[in-house]
């Protein structure tokens, strides 16, 4: 019986996380990330950016909570999310 309980507990320990394809992310500094709705940035040579409030800070957009997944854009203008 103890082996059965142990096997069930281990099954939860090795659950793989999947990428979140419904969200993009903005980096708030340190280990802090904020999920945002998926942003449609056209492929280009610029960095995809968003502005969350009128006159507010402009953030780079990432596909995942990983600084190496910066999204590209064809525009230098931030996408307004307000």
pLDDT digits (tens, 9 = 90+) for 6-41: 556 555 555 444 566 789 999 999 999 999 999 999
Q: Helices marked H in the chain — which ranges?
A: 2-13
Length, in residues, of the chain: 82
Strands of 1-82 (E only): list them.
23-29, 32-37, 46-47, 49-51, 58-60, 72-73, 79-80
Query: Contact, 27 vs 63, CB < 8 A?
Result: no
pTM of this structure = 0.72
Burial of 62 (0-12, 13-18, 19+ CB in 10 A): buried
């Amino acid at each position: 019986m103890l082996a059965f309980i142990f096997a069930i507990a281990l099954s939860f320990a090795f659950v793989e996380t999947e990428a979140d394809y419904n969200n993009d992310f903005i980096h708030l500094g340190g280990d802090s990330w904020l999920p945002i709705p998926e942003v449609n940035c056209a492929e280009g040579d610029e960095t995809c950016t968003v502005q969350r409030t009128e006159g507010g800070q402009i953030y780079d957009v990432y596909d995942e909570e990983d600084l190496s997944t910066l999204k590209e854009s064809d525009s230098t203008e931030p996408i307004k999310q307000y």
